[in-house]
Amino acid sequence: MSKFTIVIHGGAGTILREHMTGDLEAAYTEGLKTAVDTGFAVLEQGGAAINAVKAAIVVLEDNILFNAGRGSVFTKKGVQEMDAAIMSGATLEAGAVAGVRNVRNPIMLATEVMLHSNHVFLSGKGANDFAIKQGIKLEPDEYFFSQFRYDQWQAIRHSDDYALDHSVQTNSNEFPDKKFGTVGAVACDINGNIAAATSTGGMTNKKYGRIGDTPIIGSGTYANNKTCAISCTGHGEMFIRAVASYDVSCLMEYKGMNLEDAMNEVVNVKLPKLEGEGGMIGVDADGNWSLNVQSAPGGLFIETGRQAGPCDGPGEIGSSQRRLRSVEEHVGLRL
């Protein structure tokens, strides 16, 4: 039995101490822990990586704290337009949706696209029509309302500015915080199959139907058993131009880099040349995982992962090899 692994992220970047209370920090951490526990339970029972990442993302989409699903930000028009993608490294099958409205769990809709549409990428009204056909749960606008997101939008709705998850981007590029609001998961199962999934509400006050990297296969989300599974979070336009997640795979396949070195090359060498910032999580088919994120000193990045390996008996998990990567101890909570 192969080692199995799941890693999730709740977005990369910086949240200043004055904008993060102890209670809020605890709530974020608990939300991430619940998500990774849910995905890990799938793997622990011998489930497939593709189901583990979907299960973890559903938990985060249902949590109003994260900019995905229920917690999605407001667009220029004062509504939510959500994006999501999922990909199987075993088959290279993928599903993605962009600009969907009122869909409780966009990652479930992306999965339906992958499995039952004969397509890879659906958007807008067509994607919503497909959601209805497939029986995907919809919610009224009120379900997606949060005062925090509404106040973010009100602060800039009459301008041409847009906001990341916790901050307003002004024309002078001054940020009180820089927090990229995306959730993602990558996993390797006991059969050595890997998968990636990513979901987001995008940027506050976005207009013209803007779509970032999250639902674009090879940019924000990618998986291939030969190399890696990657989920990105950052300023989407640059991740699209860099074809960021696929580039990690290419560096591994064609240059023989390992996962950590390939991710470092993309995040810290290629993206900065495009003035891109953010980060990514990844796993390979051996269950190795890596995190690489650009985060300013004093910032906050939250990631949680669990990993387990074989024990003496088939199907058993060695408790000494099972470990929770807590935020503070292993990732370095910087406030």
Active site members? 182
Name which of 243, 246, 254, 212 is nearest 229 in CA terms: 246
Name which of 76, 146, 68 is nearest 109 in CA terms: 68
Q: 202 near 23, Cβ under 8 Å?
A: no
Cβ neighbourhood burial of 81 (10 Å; 0-12, 13-18, 19+): buried
Separation of CA 240 from chain center: 15
Q: What number of other Cβ atoms are within 10 A of residue 30's Cβ?
A: 12
Helices (H), the chain: 22-44, 49-61, 106-116, 124-134, 147-156, 236-242, 244-255, 259-265, 271-273
Name which of 253, 239, 233, 214 is nearest 95 in CA terms: 214
143-148, Cβ contacts within 8 angstroms, sequence gap of 24 or more: 143/70, 143/104, 144/70, 144/71, 144/72, 144/80, 144/102, 146/64, 146/71
Q: 222 near 206, Cβ under 8 Å?
A: no
Name which of 176, 177, 183, 222 is nearest 202 in CA terms: 183
The count of C-alpha atoms lying within 13 angstroms of the C-alpha of 325, restricted to the half-sphere facing its C-beta, is: 22
Instruction: Give me the residues paired with residue 293 across strands.
Output: 279
* Sequential DSSP letters for 288-335: -EEEEE---TT----EEEEEE-B-SSTT-B-GGG-EE--IIIIII---
